[in-house]
Amino acid sequence: MNKITELSSYLELGSHVADIVEHTLTLPEPKLILPTGSTPLSLYKELVNRQLDWSTTTTYNLDEYVDNTIQDQSYRYFMMENLFKHTNMNDDNIYFPGDTAVWPDLSYGTEVDLCLLGIGGNGHIAFNEPGSSFDSETRMVDLTEETIKDNSRFFPTIDDVPTQAVTMGLKPIMSSKKIVLIANGKHKLNILNIAMNGEQTESVPASILQSHKNVEIYYCD
């Protein structure tokens, strides 16, 4: 059973996880996997305010839309606006899935020091939707109707939401040395409990985290 640590507020969630990231950045040439969405916004704001040294850090984002014609809704734009452009990150050390031919050749293994994750209402992590193989690699996927509906709040209309994405698979996610999953809102508590303390099944992709030796889960309502 995985303990879900409840924090008192969204700001505390961001501050607490920022402490974990700050410690990771003290490692030699740290490597991080980063999420997008509304949940990590307080975290990224806190990291920017701390003015940390990112000069030797390499980051890999979990996913990116395919054929997104609204550029300011791309995950690259999101990360640049909310984190990267406010730090001393080396642009050559910022990776998004589907960027170039080098992406599938990237070796994770024990290289990635910290993976930050959110969780979808159906238990997806990154864009690994229900039914994704626990051995899945980085690949192009079709988004479910539920995920498209969830993400429509970031677009002018639901018809503007891309229907495909490139996502990091569950296998490379699980190869990270440490995983921190964050969730915000009472509507996420039920799926958190199912994923962390229920049956381990590919119908709930996040349930794979039960098999990882170093997972921390933080939640606020």
CATH number at residue 44: 3.40.50.1360
Active site residue 63: yes
Catalytic residue among 16, 129, 151, 184: 129
Report which of 170, 146, 135, 150 is spatially closest to residue 63, judged by C-alpha positions.
170
Active site residue 129: yes
Catalytic residue among 82, 111, 122, 146: 122
Interatomic CA distance for residues 142 and 150, integer angstroms: 15
- The total domain count for the chain is 1
Return all residues near 176 (Cβ < 8 A) that are at least 6 apart. Answer: 33, 108, 112, 113, 114, 115
> By residue range, what is the domain housing residue 39?
4-220
Active site residue 124: yes
State in Å, rounded, how far the first CA of the chain is from the last one: 21
Quote the pTM value. 0.91
Report which of 185, 55, 200, 214 is spatially closest to residue 119, judged by C-alpha positions.
185
Residue appearing with tokens 């309502």: 221
**Per-residue pLDDT tens listing for the chain (221 residues):** 578 999 999 999 999 999 999 999 999 999 999 999 999 999 999 999 999 999 999 999 999 888 766 677 888 999 999 999 999 999 989 988 866 544 444 444 447 999 999 999 999 999 999 999 999 988 889 988 988 998 898 888 999 888 988 899 999 999 999 999 999 999 999 999 999 999 999 999 999 999 999 999 999 99
